[in-house]
Amino acid sequence: MKFEAPLIRGELVRRYKRFLADVVLADGSETTVHCPNTGSMLGCRESGSTVWLLPVDNPTRKYPLGWELVEARASVLVGINTGRSNALVAEALARGLIPTLEGFSQIRREVKVEGTRSRIDFLLSEHPQEPDCYLEVKNVTAASKDGCGFFPDAVSVRATRHVEELAACVERGQRGALCFCVQRADVQRVRPADEIDPVYGRALRRAVDLGVEVYALGASVTTDGVTLERQLLVDLDD
């Protein structure tokens, strides 16, 4: 996925109110930008970090710059825009990056789950042999020094609910799958962050025991764009 315009470099002053960040630009001016990430952004919000911003050509938008990338530990570029995760995974599915999810002739987005008020990111259907598959995507930006990404980076009741709903889909005879979209290149495996949200970790393992499939895809990240290009190991050991 290519960025819609050349990115602008800046230095992070602070991230606050979830959706806002103050950044110093190359000319020394300070501006407020939109932060498209609702998580804690653990490891990606340090003051003084180099960030990359996307100019948005929309006169009605209050903040004309959107935060896309941050240079995290060891100058690793991390894509922090969670709004891109679904499109990145859709591209990966189209390229056959997850072979066990190939063969579905229809892919719908933001589909309501039967018997709930929730929506799951994708419904894969019309496979000649397989039942329909609900697929939920979670963006991963947090990682440890040993190359292990982890999710969530803050307690997430919503993420736990989604895992439980995927398990319910499996119990109804459908397929349920979770895909971790890792927007950084220094990660080789992904695990649930039990030290941050143990409830989520337990829910995920229960769901896997019931038959929910879990995938993780790693990205190549540059200032030109982000592309998911490889499968990563999912580590569910306690």
Q: Residue 39 domain-assigned?
A: yes
Q: What is the pLDDT along the chain (238 residues), one digit of tens a residue?
A: 999 999 999 999 999 998 999 999 999 999 999 999 999 999 999 999 999 999 998 888 899 999 999 999 888 999 999 999 999 999 999 999 999 999 999 999 999 887 777 899 999 999 999 999 999 999 999 999 999 999 999 999 999 999 999 999 999 999 999 999 999 999 999 999 999 999 999 999 999 999 999 999 999 999 999 999 999 999 998 7
Distances in whole angstroms, Cα of residue 133 to Cα of each of 117, 160, 205, 211: 18, 19, 19, 12
Q: What is the CATH number of the domain that holds 12?
A: 2.40.50.580
Domain of residue 222 covers 82-234
Question: Model-level pTM?
Answer: 0.95
Distances in whole angstroms, Cα of residue 223 to Cα of each of 1, 19, 109, 220: 11, 21, 27, 10
Are 41 and 101 in a shared domain? no
Q: Residue 2 domain-assigned?
A: no
Q: What is the CATH number of the domain that holds 191?
A: 3.40.1350.60
Q: Which residues lie closer than 8 Å to 195 by C-beta, 6 or more apart?
A: none
Q: What is the pLDDT of residue 8?
A: 98
Q: What is the pLDDT of residue 61?
A: 85
Instruction: Copy the structure tokens of residue 43.
Output: 């490891």
Reduce the secondary structure of 108-130 to three states and give it as a string. Answer: EEEEECCCCCCEEEEEEECCCCC
Number of domains, the chain: 2
